[in-house]
Amino acid sequence: MRLLELEFENFKSFKGHVTVPFGAGFTCITGPNGSGKSNITDAILFILGSRSTKLLRARRLSQLIFGYQEGKRRKSAAKHCRVSMLFDNSDRYLSVESNLVKFTKGVRLRGSKPVTYYRLNSEPSSAGEFEALFSRAGLYATGYNIIQQGDVTQTSLMSGTERRHKLEDVAGITAYNQRLHKTRSAREHVGADLTLLEERMREVQRLLRQLEREKRDAERLEAILLQLQENELLRHWRQVLDLEASLESRREVIIRYRKELEELKGELKERKATIETLEDEYKKVEAEISAAGGDRARELQQQLDEARVAQALAQSNTEQAQKRLTELETVRKTLRTEHRTAAGELKALRKSLDTARSETEALAEQAAESEAQLAKREGAAASGSQEIEAQRAALDELRQAASTLEMQCHRLDGEREQLELQLAQVREQAAGGEQLLAAAQADTDDANFQLQDLQLGRRSAADNLRKVTRKHDKLGGELAQTSEALERAERELHEASVALAAEQAAQRTQDELGGYARAVQGVLAARDAGDLPGIVGTVAELGRVDEEHALALEVAAGGRMQSVVVEDDAAAGTAIEFLKQRRLGRVRFLPLNKLRRYRPRANALLLLKQPGAVGFAQELVQFDPRYADAFGNVFGDTVIMRSLREARTLLGKGRMVTLEGELLEPGGAMTGGLPPRARVHFATGDRATLDELAARVKAVQARSLDLGATASMLREELAEVAQAKAALESECATIQTRVTDYDSTVSRSAEHLQQATETLAARQGAVAALETELTQREDALVQLQGEIETQRESVAQAAEQLQQLTGGAAAEALAQLQATLTTLRDELAETRAGVARLEAGEAPAAVEAERLSATLEQNDAEQRETQQHHAAERKLARKLAQQVASLEREEHEKFEELGGLRQQRDSLRDQLGERRTTLAQREEFGRGRRTAKDELQLEIQVREPKLVEARERLPEKAEQPRQVDGAEQLELQRESLEQQRSRLGNVNMLSLEHYRQEEERLARVREDRKQLRKEVRRLEALEAKISARKLERFTEVYKHINENFQATFTELTGGGKAWLELEKPEAVFDGGVLIKARMPRKQLFPVEALSGGEKSLVSMAFIFAIQRYDPSPFYLLDEPDQNLDGVNTEHIGRAIALQSEVAQFLVVSLHHAALRESAHVLGVFMADDGVSHLHQIHDIDSFIASLPAEEVAA
């Protein structure tokens, strides 16, 4: 790579377009001071990307434009400037696919604002692209290979740290520093993020602990609501199934009824014909009996029946008389008790009346005495005044009138109370009359009903006997049928037992060859032999699967397919002891009473919603709901996926099994390939068949036992019917007797009813009369009480007026006497009222006592009459018993003569009765069937819309459950769930979703924390690695540059010595790089103590040392020899010429030695118009000779 030329256009002192060619090797740029030599250096820095215009010796970019003067505008002034650098890139040192690369940078004025633009090979570019290309080529505006005017000693004067940074740039450690800085910054950010995540995780954990209880309640409520939904669906299904079964059964019954009615029609026709035949035979036998003396037999039977009826009637009358005597005696005892009580009350009442009268007389005497004293005082007060005398007379009249009214009031009050008592008694009697009437009416109705019932019973007595006979025959037929059914059941039991044994043998063979472990086979064999109770079966036996899901489910279950389900943990313990004793091995048992209920976790539920998920493994297996916990224990949260491709996208999120049998674990492990051939399979129905056969055997055994018990019951019932048949023969006579008895009972009941009606009417009339009289007395009493109140007010006013007229001490004495008299009168009024009440109650009490006495006498008379009737009826009953015995002996003799014909007649009569009864029953049966059929059709019409409505309430495409409990059980379940729901109270259902979100958030935070910790460890390792590499790289560069520096300085100074020294060798990057130098024939001085020329030599030696280690494409040195004398200038010139063989040097210098050592010389001169011009100088010596003497001397 080499700089070929530099182009200007209106840049600083160069006007218009100027091209500066650069040859290979050493090019020297010379010219007078101020001619614009350094502007060439500024142009190169402008292209390389100097970030400060101060380095370009300008305050702002607009000052780089030729002729620009701030604040002035000239039409001839340039509006832009441009600089281009053309490089030879045949070695592709620059990362551009071109042999020639041209960098152009310019400034345009837009108004007063400068705008910078970039081009790369005539294509628009940017400062970033320029910087990237130059940095990869090792070109920097502030690099060691560029020395601006006056900066040659900066390398010597810079601090050790700055010098170390220069070496770091050469070593490329700047990139390491940037990487290290980025790594540390990233580690700090990651640490801050990790701290934030730790705090966030603690916050989430606190929130989760707060939500835990609400989440548990919400989960319980969610489960309850789900169960309620399932319960509601099952209840809908139960309603549908019940309606369907009801309709189906009714349709079947209607079909059966129609068939029965068709058969009944022919049967009735046959029965009527049979009855007509029997009637003809019966008439024929009756005629034969009459011809053989049957009339006398019938007459004798009639006499015997009449005698039996009369005997029964007499016996009944005797019993009724005895019953009546008992009732009368009971009533008599009650009446005696009531009479004694009434007499006692009357005696006490009269005694109280005498006492009250005595108290009244005493109070009347006291009142009279007080009145006399009051009259005496009033008379004394009125003796001197006619007005007072008149007032006293008026007061006496008022007092007399008030006393009279009070007496009348007390009398009326007593009469009112007496009327109230009489009214209460009469009402009670009326109520008793109503009860008697009701009882009489009930007795009459009961007697009529019993009479009608007995009359019907008499007509049906023979029918009852025939029914018993028919029942006897029917029971015989049923016994025969039951015996036959019992034989069939025994044959069916034998067949089912044989089939069960064969199926058990086949099942044992399948278990032995089906891949079960030896221990499992031993447990199953012990179960089948009955040695181990409580063993339900293996998971493989109890589950059924579709062929499509079989492989996936068997892989999901794995070895747990051989787990044995037991009823409880006790059965499991017994089986374990069995395995130990037999040394068979180990088996995994699942006790149903201890297993926890399976509930899918949140991650599994989310996994189920992903594409490709078929469902939970447990849901794809068919099993009895009782074993749900066992299958949940076996399968857990395993999800069945359609394919491995879909499952792989979810790897690590849960346990999955594909339909082809690949197993994906939550930890990320995958198992797949060709499944093994010998495997335990889920049951395909053999176990169900075995259970069905066992149930069939049990059912047949139960039916056989039921049939045997039924046969025994039929035999016992047949014996009972035989006894009942004999008992019915005597019932006919008894019924006839009761009919006669109830005829008389009805008559007596009618008489009692008439009497009770008349008594009730009389008592109701008395009640009405008393109520009227009581109302009148109450009205009169109210009127009297008003008059009394008026009189009392008048008396009080008169007394007050008299006292006012009297005045003084006499008035006070009169007031005291008046108050005393008023009190006595009040007490007297109360005692008189009491006397009046007692007097009013005395008469009714006496009347009641007299009534009870008369009733007792009446009761005694009725008892005497009933005893006489009882004796007469008992005597008649004995006489009739003797007559019945005589007639029965005669009847027995006559029956022996006509025994055969009578038996034939009785048989025909029984058959006729039985056939007629059967015909009536069958006809009634037909009517009942027709009515029932019509009702069933009507019910079907009513229930069919209900069924349609019930089906509409079911969800669309709802599959019918395999088992639906009864309506009552479902309702109990619903009530239990509702109670559980109410016990939970208010539940925040959002807490469940919040908990799941926070749980997922916690999982994400933990995963992020894990990743951040991993990133921190990675960054720490990277930081250590970068630091080690940085130190290694710096040490290597420092060693080579120090060696080059020592050699170069010796060459430049002709024997001087200089070297580099680390300020802190133990911590290189905490200190700087020092320069130690000793000029020839001088002692060692610090570099700061050297002269300006010596410092320039040190700087150039340092630059050449770096150039030898890491050559730059070109070097730009602006007057590096300005502080040197002629000898050292020649040394520097020769050194640059020597180094230019491997690099391109652009040097601005005024020294002739430099000009002579250079390969190319460019002269820069400024005209009078201030424009710099460029000239190529080919003859150096002629050029030097043409210079003025002072310049030649330089």
Convert the pLDDT of each residue in 87-98 to its tens digit: 998 888 888 889
The span from the CA of 129 to the CA of 944, in Å, is 88
Assess if residue 669 is contained within a domain.
Answer: yes
CA-nearest of 933, 932, 956, 952 to 944 is: 952
Task: List the beta bridge partners of residue 118.
Answer: 105
Half-sphere CA count of 989, side-chain side, radius 13 A: 6
Burial 1040-1051 (b: 16+ CB within 10 A, else e): bbbebbbebbeb
CB atoms within 10 A of CB 484: 11
- The answer to whether 754 touches 441, Cβ cutoff 8 Å, is no
Angle between helices 294-382 and 899-952 (to 10 degrees): 60
Judge if 320 and 469 occupy the same domain.
yes
327 membership: H or E segment, kind and range: helix 294-382
pLDDT of residue 657: 94
Chain center to CA of 609: 20
Task: Write down which residue in 897, 924, 956 finishes a domain.
Answer: 897
Judge if 520 and 479 occupy the same domain.
no
Assess if residue 569 is contained within a domain.
Answer: yes
Report the SS3 class of residue 669. coil
CATH number at residue 526: 1.20.1060.20
The span from the CA of 969 to the CA of 278, in Å, is 58
- The answer to whether 1038 touches 1060, Cβ cutoff 8 Å, is yes
CB atoms within 10 A of CB 643: 12
Strand ranges (E), 828-919: none
Number of helical (H) and strand (E) elements in the chain, helices listed first: 24, 23
Judge if 597 and 457 occupy the same domain.
no
3-state helix vs strand vs coil in the chain, percent to 5: 70, 10, 20
- The answer to whether 535 touches 592, Cβ cutoff 8 Å, is no
pLDDT of residue 563: 92
- The answer to whether 724 touches 468, Cβ cutoff 8 Å, is yes
Q: Cβ neighbours of residue 644 under 8 Å, at least 6 residues apart? A: 658, 660, 662, 672
The span from the CA of 1131 to the CA of 292, in Å, is 189
Q: Which two tokens stand for residue 493?
A: 């039991």
CB atoms within 10 A of CB 218: 21
The span from the CA of 566 to the CA of 536, in Å, is 5
Report the SS3 class of residue 726. helix
Assess if residue 356 is contained within a domain.
Answer: yes
Q: Which two tokens stand for residue 32?
A: 């007078």
Judge if 530 and 671 occupy the same domain.
yes
Judge if 740 and 855 occupy the same domain.
yes
Judge if 742 and 891 occupy the same domain.
yes
Assess if residue 353 is contained within a domain.
Answer: yes
pLDDT of residue 25: 85
The span from the CA of 784 to the CA of 414, in Å, is 14
Judge if 746 and 878 occupy the same domain.
yes
Whether the pTM exceeds 0.85: the reply is: no
Residue 1083: left if φ>0, alpha if ψ -120 to 50, beta else—which one? beta
Residue span of the structural domain in which 619 resides: 515-680
Q: Which two tokens stand for residue 1057?
A: 């010595």
- With 0-12 / 13-18 / 19 or more C-beta atoms within 10 angstroms meaning exposed / middle / buried, residue 769 is exposed
- The answer to whether 1126 touches 1155, Cβ cutoff 8 Å, is no
In the chain, how many domains are there?
3
For residue 1030, give Cα distances in angstroms to 163, 174, 630, 737, 891.
16, 9, 65, 139, 150
Judge if 558 and 473 occupy the same domain.
no
- The answer to whether 373 touches 749, Cβ cutoff 8 Å, is no
Backbone angles phi, psi at 594, to 5 degrees: -120, -15
Q: Cβ neighbours of residue 151 under 8 Å, at least 6 residues apart? A: 1118
Q: Which two tokens stand for residue 952?
A: 């509409």
pLDDT of residue 85: 92
Q: Which two tokens stand for residue 798?
A: 């008169």
- The answer to whether 538 touches 560, Cβ cutoff 8 Å, is no
CB atoms within 10 A of CB 138: 17
pLDDT of residue 216: 80
Assess if residue 408 is contained within a domain.
Answer: yes
pLDDT of residue 572: 93
What is the 8-class DSSP label of residue 675?
P
Assess if residue 118 is contained within a domain.
Answer: yes
First-to-last C-alpha distance (Å) of the chain: 35
Judge if 745 and 644 occupy the same domain.
no
Chain center to CA of 35: 95
pLDDT of residue 764: 65
The span from the CA of 559 to the CA of 420, in Å, is 99
- The answer to whether 3 touches 23, Cβ cutoff 8 Å, is no
What is the 8-class DSSP label of residue 618?
G
CA-nearest of 781, 819, 821, 870 to 409 is: 781
pLDDT of residue 32: 86
Backbone angles phi, psi at 2, to 5 degrees: -150, 145
Task: Write down which residue in 662, 680, 698 finishes a domain.
Answer: 680
What pLDDT, in 10s, does the model give residues 1084-1135? 666 777 777 777 888 888 888 877 887 777 788 888 877 777 777 777 788 8
Along the chain (1194 residues), what's the average pLDDT of each consecutive run of 10 residues? Answer: 88 89 88 85 84 71 80 72 92 88 91 88 89 80 74 73 78 69 77 81 81 79 86 86 86 88 89 86 71 59 68 75 81 80 78 80 78 69 54 60 64 64 63 59 60 60 65 68 70 60 50 64 84 88 85 88 91 92 90 86 84 90 89 91 90 90 89 69 57 68 68 64 54 56 59 65 66 70 68 65 56 68 71 71 75 82 85 84 75 58 68 74 78 82 85 82 82 84 76 77 80 80 80 86 86 84 86 85 72 79 80 80 75 80 84 82 87 86 70 43
Task: Write down which residue in 645, 680, 715 finishes a domain.
Answer: 680
Judge if 863 and 737 occupy the same domain.
yes
Judge if 471 and 526 occupy the same domain.
no
Report the SS3 class of residue 106. strand
The span from the CA of 542 to the CA of 544, in Å, is 7
The span from the CA of 655 to the CA of 647, in Å, is 10
CA-nearest of 583, 470, 452 to 922 is: 470
CA-nearest of 636, 630, 511, 632 to 564 is: 630
Assess if residue 115 is contained within a domain.
Answer: yes
- The answer to whether 752 touches 440, Cβ cutoff 8 Å, is yes
For residue 903, give Cα distances in angstroms to 895, 910, 1186.
10, 10, 188
CB atoms within 10 A of CB 470: 18
- The answer to whether 26 touches 1157, Cβ cutoff 8 Å, is yes
CATH number at residue 40: 3.40.50.300
For residue 706, give Cα distances in angstroms to 266, 495, 694, 703, 710.
35, 19, 18, 5, 6
The span from the CA of 1097 to the CA of 1127, in Å, is 12
Strand ranges (E), 450-531: none
Q: Which two tokens stand for residue 1026?
A: 């970068």
Burial 36-58 (b: 16+ CB within 10 A, else e): bbbbbbbbbbbbbbbeebebbbb
Angle, CA 1123 vertex, CA 1117 and CA 1128 arms, to 5°: 85
Q: Which two tokens stand for residue 23?
A: 């040859």
Assess if residue 245 is contained within a domain.
Answer: no
Q: Which two tokens stand for residue 551?
A: 């492989």
The span from the CA of 978 to the CA of 815, in Å, is 83
Judge if 609 and 742 occupy the same domain.
no
What is the 8-class DSSP label of residue 985?
-
pLDDT of residue 400: 64
Report CA Rg, the chain: 70
